[in-house]
Amino acid sequence: MTDEAGFPRFHPDFIWGVSTSAYQIEGAVAEAGRGPSTWDDFCAMPGRVFDNQSGQVACDHYHRYREDLALMKQLGLDAYRFSFSWSRVLPDGVGQVNQEGLDFYDRLIDGLLEAGIAPAPTLFHWDTPSPLEAAGGWLNRDITDHFAAYAGLLAERFGDRVKQWITINEPVVLTLFGYGLGQHAPGRTLFFEALPAAHHQLLAHGKAVQVLRAAGASNIGIANNHAPVWSASEDPADRMAAAGYDALTNWLFADPILLGRYPNDEFAAAMPGPVAEDLAIIASPIDWYGINHYQPANIGAPGGAADPDASDGATLPAGLPFQLRAIEGYPKTDFGWSVVPEGLGEILRIFRKRYRTALPPVYITENGCAINDGRNAAGLVDDQRRVAYLAGYTAALAQAIDDGADVRGYFHWSLLDNFEWAVGYSQRFGLVHVDFDTLSRTPKASFDWYRRLIAASHGLPEGR
């Protein structure tokens, strides 16, 4: 259903937000007591990142956060999902606290509350402190206790003002791209021997949930990347490959949290430590589940025509039991990702069917697209393809809710054009254009569309 202005209808209490992450926007990597992270190290390796770029300055949000707060207030946001930089809070990952880092997040959180925007921080978004990585990183079980201590520190400092917590962002990406394929920090190429990194991130999540809960925090969740997996054909080999990929990228990371088990015995056997006892911690009850969704995956058996866009341009090694295939018949973003709004409704239906009463309320914690339109002669960014993307995906979300999905909020990725990991500044996901030479901000046409959607959803005048 749509309203009189053509916007999809949502409950007036539905939460509208945007998402960012620390390394992608903050900059100031060598300032104010911040220690080095794996992404600083990775960017310093020649050839690892597009054009040898880095997040050293990024959007300079550390210094320009007040300007960005004004943009968020202009949007009319209900909530802002950002991430704490572990290295800015604890330069070594453990031990000595950096008060300047905590003070920065105090200023940011207080500014959000003054603007009427709820802070929804993520504790960890892939930027592991370098000293912890040197000690084994997410392959070393010790990091789970260090993460729990870090979570406790943040809860103690910010728990009086933060009312929604996200433990970890997309452990699948750090596991597969960071430790498995070497395309992200820390740049390891362990292939399936990277699976302990998945287990330790899940265990760290569970320990953090317990620590946050003990500190009096509530409204705790995780942000996991999920997508429907399509078989390239009805051929049994393609169907088997798709099922394996589905288990590896979806259920390996959701089943332990929501069901307290791995999706099959093979995964459980590949994990280190006392797995059964760990799973009891991993399954510590959460208040909601975050789904980051971008596009479906079309999977076939090895030997077909692979689609490099489906793996963010990464060259996948030979010998994998699956192959990523192109999705035909749909528009593409400038990153080559397929625009399939119905995929969002599909993954929500899959979750309802798979988890039933074990599934808590859901938030869409990321959804967005790379549309690289620049400023025109009038200085405006008329990104109508992103407007169409937003309209399509929010309409699909509204339909999924009408069909019974318990979705409480939507966070668009992203507020700002930013440092997009291994592709540097080549892809623009923001509602706000950033000139990376001057760092000036220019709201795009999509910014105005999203502002009007939020106002319409809450029954407010468009001029809010």
Residues noted as catalytic? 170, 366
Instruction: Name the DSSP class of 33.
Output: T
Please tell me the distance from the alpha carbon of residue 379 to that of residue 441, in angstroms, as a whole number.
11
CA torsion 388-393-398-402 (nearest 10°) is: 130
The answer to whether the CB of 177 falls within 8 A of the CB of 314 is: yes
The answer to whether the CB of 134 falls within 8 A of the CB of 97 is: no
The answer to whether the CB of 394 falls within 8 A of the CB of 446 is: no
Residue 353 Cα distances to 197, 252, 276, angstroms: 28, 17, 25
Sign of CA dihedral 365, 371, 372, 378: negative
Please tell me the distance from the alpha carbon of residue 151 to that of residue 433, in angstroms, as a whole number.
33
CB neighbours (10 Å) of residue 328? 8
CB neighbours (10 Å) of residue 445? 17
Give the SS3 label for residue 19. Answer: strand
The answer to whether the CB of 217 falls within 8 A of the CB of 159 is: yes
**Strands annotated E in 26-104:** 79-81
Cβ neighbourhood burial of 338 (10 Å; 0-12, 13-18, 19+): buried
Residue type, 59: C
Instruction: Name the DSSP class of 308.
Output: G
What is the CA angle 323-427-221, rounded to 5? Answer: 75
Give the SS3 label for residue 229. Answer: strand
Give the SS3 label for residue 97. Answer: coil
Phi-psi domain of 313 (left: phi exceeds 0; alpha: psi -120 through 50; beta: other): left
Cβ neighbourhood burial of 54 (10 Å; 0-12, 13-18, 19+): buried
The answer to whether the CB of 396 falls within 8 A of the CB of 341 is: yes
Peptide bond into 196 cis (omega under 30): no
Sequence-separated contacts (24+) of 95-103 with Cβ below 8 Å? 97/153, 98/32, 98/33, 98/34, 98/35, 99/33, 100/32, 100/33, 101/32, 101/33, 101/34, 102/157
Q: What share of the chain is helix, strand, coil (3-state, %, to 5)?
A: 45, 15, 45
